[in-house]
Amino acid sequence: MKLVQWMSVAVAIGLAQPLAAQAVAPREVVTSAVESVEALGKQVVLGNHKVAIEKMYPQWKERMAKRRGGIEKLEEELEGIGGMMARNGVNIISFKTQGAPRVYEVWPGKDAGGANAGEPVFTKWMMLVPTVMQIRIMQGDDPKGHVINLHGFQIAISEKGRQEWTFINGSDVTVADLRSLFPALPANMELPEVRREAAE
Domain limits, the chain = 23-108+116-198
Query: Which stretch of DSSP H or E encloses residue 147?
Result: strand 146-159
pLDDT at 117: 58
pLDDT digits (tens, 9 = 90+) for 86-135: 888 999 999 999 999 999 999 766 555 655 555 668 899 999 999 999 99
Q: For 155-171, what is the mean pLDDT?
A: 96
Residue 158 CB neighbour total at 10 angstroms: 19
| Reported pTM | 0.82
Pairing between β-strand 90-97 and β-strand 102-110 as defined by DSSP bridges: unpaired
pLDDT digits (tens, 9 = 90+) for 8-39: 333 333 434 455 557 889 999 999 999 999 99
What share of residues in the chain are helix, strand, coil (percent, to 5)?
35, 30, 35
Phi and psi (nearest 5°) for 30? -60, -45
